[in-house]
Structure 1
Amino acid sequence: MIVCVAVVGHNNNPLYLQSFSDDGNTLKFHYIVHCSLDVIEEKVSNSRRAGVNLNETFLGLLYPTEDFKVFGYISNTKVKFVMVTTDQDSRDADLRNFFRRLHAAYVDAASNPFHVPGKRITSAVFAEQVGNIVKSFGIPAPV
């Protein structure tokens, strides 16, 4: 189950963070997302040092915590997408599809002529799209 989704700008400024947890403690998700930025930067800089062109935007598992797993994705414009989940078994294909859909929703929101680049995304349409994407991935597979 997805408990948090975040979009972070290329200057590591938070553009959007939505918690889907029932406990109402969004501060811990801010902390988890903030910690994930270090891992994202490390993965990107390691690929540059190795001389590998980072064409793959899906970064995979950034790090696990006791209760959560944190996954990441980075766009060509260095906008970072972070997902925090409680699922122990997540398939890469599903995660890639989730991030592609989230990226597409972000592009739509950022393409709005009233959106100021680099500022928080306050669009209700974007929030609804993110909620719909999370709901479509939050349904457990039948056993």
Structure 2
Amino acid sequence: MIVCVSVVGHQNNPLYLQSFTEADDALKLHHVVHCSLDVIDERVNNPKKTGLTLNETFLGLLYPTENYKVYGYLTNTKVKFILVTTDVDVRDADVRNFFRRFHSAYVDAVSNPFHVPGKKITSRSFAERVSTIVKSFGLGGAV
């Protein structure tokens, strides 16, 4: 189950964070997302150590915690997507598919002529599209 998705700008400024839990875990999820930025920087700055190629956008499992697994994705413009899930057994193919669809939704949202680059994403249609992508996570079907 996906707990949280986040978009972080190239200067590590939060652009979007949506939580999908019933509990009031927003502060904890902000902390998890913030901690994952260090791991992303480590992987991007030391590609030989992590085995990452320069054109690879999917960063894979960033780190597991006691309750969550955190996955990362880096766009060509250095915008970071972070996925926090509670599932123990998540297939990389499902996560890659999620990020591909999430990236497409992001591109559509920032292509809006009324969106100011580098500012928070406040589009209601983007939030609804993200919710739809999250609901279909792991089902294998494209929406």
Whether TM exceeds 0.5 here: the answer is yes
Structure 2 unmatched runs, 5+: none
TM-score when normalising by structure 2: 0.92
Give the paired residue count: 139
Deviation at 1:24, TM superposition (A): 1.9
Q: Determine the C-alpha separation between the residues in 1 that align with 2:42 and 2:75.
A: 16
Q: For residue 82 of structure 2, what is the aligned residue in structure 1?
A: 82
Name the aligned partner's letter for residue 76 of structure 2: N
Alignment partners' CA distance in 1, 2:60 and 2:104: 18
**Counterpart in the other structure of 2:64:** 64
Query: TM-score under structure 1 normalisation?
Result: 0.92
User: How far does residue 25 in structure 1 lie from its aligned partner after superposition?
Assistant: 1.9
Superimposed CA distance per residue, residues 23-68 of structure 1 (whole angstroms, 9 cap, x where no aligned partner): 0220100000000000000000001789974211000000000000
- Match of 1:122, SS state, is coil
Structure 1 residues 117, 48: CA separation in 2 closer, same or farther (over 3 Å shift)?
farther
1:52, 1:114 → 2: CA distance?
A: 36
User: What is the DSSP-based 3-state SS (H/G/I as helix, E as strand, rest coil) of the residue aligned with 2:136?
Assistant: helix
CA distance change for structure 1 residues 80 and 52 in 2, over 3 Å: closer, same or farther?
closer
The amino acid that maps onto 2:117 is P
Query: Are 1:118 and 2:118 matched, yes or no?
Result: yes
Distance (whole Å) between structure 2 residues aligned to residue 64 and residue 15 of structure 1: 23
> Structure 1, unaligned stretches of length 5 or more?
none
Residues 97-120 of structure 1, C-alpha deviations (whole Å, 9 max, x = no match) = 000000000000000000000000
**Quick check: 2:43–2:50 contact (8 Å CA) kept in 1?**
no
Give the RMSD, CA atoms, in angstroms: 1.7
Counterpart mapping for 1:14-33 below 5 A: 14-33=14-33
5 Å-filtered alignment, 1:1-143, equals 1-47=1-47, 53-137=53-137
Structure-2 separation of matches of 1:50 and 1:109? 31
Percent identity between the two aligned chains? 71
**Counterparts of 1:67 and 1:50 in 2: how far apart (Å)?**
24
Contact 1:60 1:73 in 2 (8 A): yes
